[in-house]
Amino acid sequence: MQNPLLNNRSSIVAYFLVWLIVICVHVVLSSLYAGIPVHVAIGEGLTVNVLFAAIGLGLWFPVFYGKPAGEKVLNFIIRHIFACLSAVALWIVIQYVILYSMFGSETGYMDYLKRSIPWKSVTGILYYWLIILVYYLLIYYTNMKNSLVKEARLETLVRESELNSLKSQINPHFLFNSLNSISSLTLIHPEKAQEMIIKLSDFLRYSVANKDEKLTPLHEELENINRYLDIEKIRFGKRLSVHQIVDDMALDMKLPGLILQPLIENAVKYSIYENTEPASIELVCKPQPDVLLITVRNQYDPEMKQKQGAGLGLQNIRNRLKIMYDQEDLIAIRKEVNTFEIRIVIPQNKSV
């Protein structure tokens, strides 16, 4: 770590400005109250304080370099007392030599200089601790700033991973059931088996490729949903029928990737998995000013109690939309006697 006082121009200027004030006060006080001639007072003020300003910059070394982590308080105090005494002694000796060579002929002043050594030492010790204090404050401030930056970065990371885990995961049972259907098709309809493998692969590839949070055009999402529905149709045959009403204007509108998938999966689950009769699912995509409106409707049997864990998918979508668009009311659920309807609203003026 570099000396924080020399880090940037403003802190260098501030440091020397403070010393300039100290020099002025020193000159005024010593000429007015100690009766020292003005030219001598100026010479002394400059020598004494410029010298300590220079030593002060060097005090960064005992602060930073002699600092093993987890140091004991006693060690800390001993180190600084040693550094303080050496710095002050050095300061007194050098200023004495310089001032003697400059004003050695002024006998009155030389007396004063000798008498001033005790209180100058005290002042030097005070200066030392003040400067050390400033250094520690600066270190503390920098560390705090760094940890804040780190915290903010961590927060974005957490948010990203949260988004990823909220994203619909491929349902393993869907996968195993599909593989079982393929297993069956290889024996009775090899060409159809191949077709299903391709569909399943495309579906998986799309789900894996959409891992990062990004907006996808509706037509891509629809293609993927149709792959999924085709696979389910191979499994369930005539039991599943789907009506899609998609406005051409909506096809290029954007929505978060894989957000429709869980909605459709949910609809299939409640209308087909839990129904012995054929059932249909309706998907409507409509453009509206600044938003894309999507409605998924399916029949369900009100007698069937929702299984535990159901509804988790919807909660995930709700959370994802909330995180991405910072709006609470983007998803609405309506249950009627035997139809279940989910509406989601995707704002279009947002760039993510």
Partner 1 sequence: MNKIKTIIIEDEELSRELIKNFLKDLEDIEIIKECENGFEGIKAINELDPDLVFLDIQMPKLNGFEMLELVDQSPEIIFITAHNDYAIRAFEMNAVDYLLKPYSKDRLISAVSRVRQRIAAGHDKSHPEPDRDDTINRLIRQPLGDNLNRIVVKSGTRIRVIPVDRIIYLEAQDDYVMIYTDEGKHLKKGTMNHFEEHLDADSFVRVHRSYIVKIDQVSMIEPYSRDNYIMKLKNGAQIRVSRKGLKNIREKFNF
CB of 274 to partner 1, least distance (A): 5
Applying CB under 8 A, does 198 fall inside the site for partner 1?
no
Between 308 and 327, how does the x/- string for binding to partner 1 read (CB under 8 A)?
A: x-------------------
List 9, 10, 289, 305, residue binding partner 1 (CB under 8 A): 305
List 123, 275, 280, 348, residue binding partner 1 (CB under 8 A): 275
- The count of chain residues that interact with partner 1, using the rule CB under 8 A, is 28
Applying CB under 8 A, does 19 fall inside the site for partner 1?
no
CB of 226 to partner 1, least distance (A): 20
Nearer to partner 1, 237 or 289 (CB): 237
Nearer to partner 1, 55 or 234 (CB): 234
Q: Which of 332, 352, 327, 346 is nearest to 250 (CA)?
A: 346
Strands 291-299 and 339-347: antiparallel
Q: Which residues are CB-contacts of 348 (< 8 A; sequence separation ≥ 6)?
A: 253, 254, 290, 291, 292
Cβ 87 vs Cβ 128: under 8 Å: yes
Applying CB under 8 A, does 95 fall inside the site for partner 1?
no
Q: d(Cα 123, Cα 140) in Å, to the nearest integer?
A: 26
Applying CB under 8 A, does 273 fall inside the site for partner 1?
yes
CB of 267 to partner 1, least distance (A): 14
CB of 184 to partner 1, least distance (A): 4
Applying CB under 8 A, does 179 fall inside the site for partner 1?
yes
Applying CB under 8 A, does 184 fall inside the site for partner 1?
yes
Strands 331-335 and 279-288: unpaired
- Binding segment (CB under 8 A) for partner 1, from list 5-13, 141-149, 170-178, 318-326: 170-178
Question: How large is the angle between the packed helices 190-209 and 172-188, nearest 10 degrees?
Answer: 160
Nearer to partner 1, 165 or 276 (CB): 276
Applying CB under 8 A, does 180 fall inside the site for partner 1?
yes
Nearer to partner 1, 72 or 173 (CB): 173
Strands 339-347 and 331-335: antiparallel
According to DSSP, the residues that pair with 343 across neighbouring strands are 295, 332
Nearer to partner 1, 80 or 227 (CB): 227
CA 277 centroid distance within chain: 51
Applying CB under 8 A, does 301 fall inside the site for partner 1?
yes
Report 220-239 residues binding partner 1 (CB under 8 A): 234-237
CB of 190 to partner 1, least distance (A): 13
Nearer to partner 1, 166 or 182 (CB): 182
Residue 98: burial class (beta carbons within 10 Å; 0-12, 13-18, 19+): middle
List 151, 191, 248, 303, residue binding partner 1 (CB under 8 A): 303
Q: d(Cα 138, Cα 214) in Å, to the nearest integer?
A: 41
Applying CB under 8 A, does 304 fall inside the site for partner 1?
yes
Q: d(Cα 109, Cα 328) in Å, to the nearest integer?
A: 80
According to DSSP, the residues that pair with 217 across neighbouring strands are 254
Q: d(Cα 221, Cα 206) in Å, to the nearest integer?
A: 9
CB of 188 to partner 1, least distance (A): 6
Coil, helix or strand at residue 8: coil
Cα separations (Å) of 18 from 53, 90, 110, 289?
10, 22, 28, 62
CB of 134 to partner 1, least distance (A): 59
Residue 173: burial class (beta carbons within 10 Å; 0-12, 13-18, 19+): exposed
CA 30 centroid distance within chain: 55
The footprint of partner 1 (CB under 8 A) covers 172-173, 176-177, 179-185, 187-188, 234-237, 272-276, 301, 303-305, 307-308
